[in-house]
A = this chain, B = another copy of it.
Amino acid sequence: MKVAIIGATGYGGVELVRILHQHKFINKYSLHSSSQAGVQITESYPHLSNISKQKLETIEIEKISKEAEIVFMATPSGISSQLTPAFIENGVKVIDLSGDFRFSDPVMYETWYKKTTAPRELLEKAVYGLTELNRKKIKTASLIANPGCYPTATILGLYPLLKNLAIDLDSIIVDAKSGVSGAGRKASLQTNYCEINENFRIYKVNEHQHIPEIEQALKVANSNLGPIKFNSHLVPMTRGIMATIYCKPLNSISETALRELYVHQYENDPFVRIRRIGEYPATKEVYGSNYCDIGITFDERTGWITIVSVIDNLMKGAAGQAVQNLNVMLGIDEKTALLGPPVFP
């Protein structure tokens, strides 16, 4: 089995390398970069010394199509929409980590990403790769739109509620917090160490491109869902996302019954861990792993539910889920290469 990683010099790409290096069914992975072709990957990432001796290669679609069975697109938005059609035509399957194929409605992409959309026929073909919700379709898909990091944490946190409980749909608030690696590997004043360290900021208020992705996915659970209130914050840390989710059920509910909805929903999902009543996950508790941990509570005093959902944004929020989808597509154990426990402390 051979795969190719397009955009291997970003944080998502190099996290794929970390996982695939230990994947027993992947014989070979080639690394591709438009900007650094010809250069050893260890020039950019010396932590891979003695591990990956590969050179970064150009992005030649025909050549890659001959050599790889599956291609990971770990590129910025707007690139995959251009490269993927040719791969699909050549019979190569694609797992796209960018946002380019996540919307069935091209207007959404153009409105929120302010870029040209991918071809409509491919949008229809693409399967939204939130493994826990779409496992069956992923199995036979040729094009996976791997979910965004905030959507993964949020959707897994809200889905069981929206599907099973009567809640005030206008009450839902998602207050999300992320480490800085989600911003990618690039020179930027906004992510300069001194601007982030010992600082906490809100960003993209009301206009984060992950908002419509969350809405689209959750409408599957409850078609009456309206616009979601969502805000994103930057935490002075490298990895980790927490979504603190608030909503009001129409009726009072016991915490045991509430928790049971989650346990039941995810009983066959090895990477979703529902915490004990009264226990809430911290981001470090999934660090470097593919887990999504969820804690839930109902406050008798206010009548509101709080859901706490955490992931590692580079793992379950990007490369980890991409490999989870790869495993499903290959028909092998979904957990292959993903069982490393979180790194703590």
Contacts and interface: CB of A to CB of B under 8 A. Distances in A.
B345 A194 contact: yes
A37 B144 CA distance: 47
Interface residues of A, number: 88
A20 to B, nearest CB: 10
A273 B46 CA distance: 10
Interface in A283-312: 283-289, 291, 293, 295, 297, 299, 301-302, 304, 306, 308
B200 A197 contact: no
A50 interface: yes
A186 B186 contact: no
Contacts of A93: none
Most B CB within 10 A of own CB, among A200, A203, A226, A345: A345
Given A200-B237, A283-B201, A49 B275 contact: yes
A238 B283 CA distance: 15
Contact of A199 (B50, B203, B283): B283
Interface in A47-87: 47-51
B237 A302 contact: no
Given A171-B171, A198-B237, A275-B49, A288 B343 contact: yes
B281 A46 contact: yes
Given A200-B235, A200-B237, A237-B197, A22 B177 contact: no
Interface stretch (A119-127, A239-247, A325-333): A239-247
**How many identical chains are in the complex?**
4
A196 B199 CA distance: 15
Interface string A221-239: 0000011110101011111
Interface of A: 11, 14, 17-18, 21-22, 45-51, 170-171, 173, 175, 177, 179-181, 185-189, 191-203, 205-206, 226-229, 231, 233, 235-240, 242, 244, 246, 248, 270, 273, 275, 279-289, 291, 293, 295, 297, 299, 301-302, 304, 306, 308, 339-345
21 contacts: A18-B340, A46-B275, A47-B284, A47-B287, A47-B344, A49-B273, A49-B293, A50-B291, A51-B341, A180-B193, A185-B194, A185-B345, A193-B238, A198-B238, A199-B237, A199-B240, A199-B282, A199-B284, A231-B244, A235-B236, A288-B288
Top 9 closest pairs, chain A to chain B, by CB: A201-B282, A199-B284, A47-B285, A175-B175, A194-B345, A47-B342, A193-B196, A206-B299, A187-B187
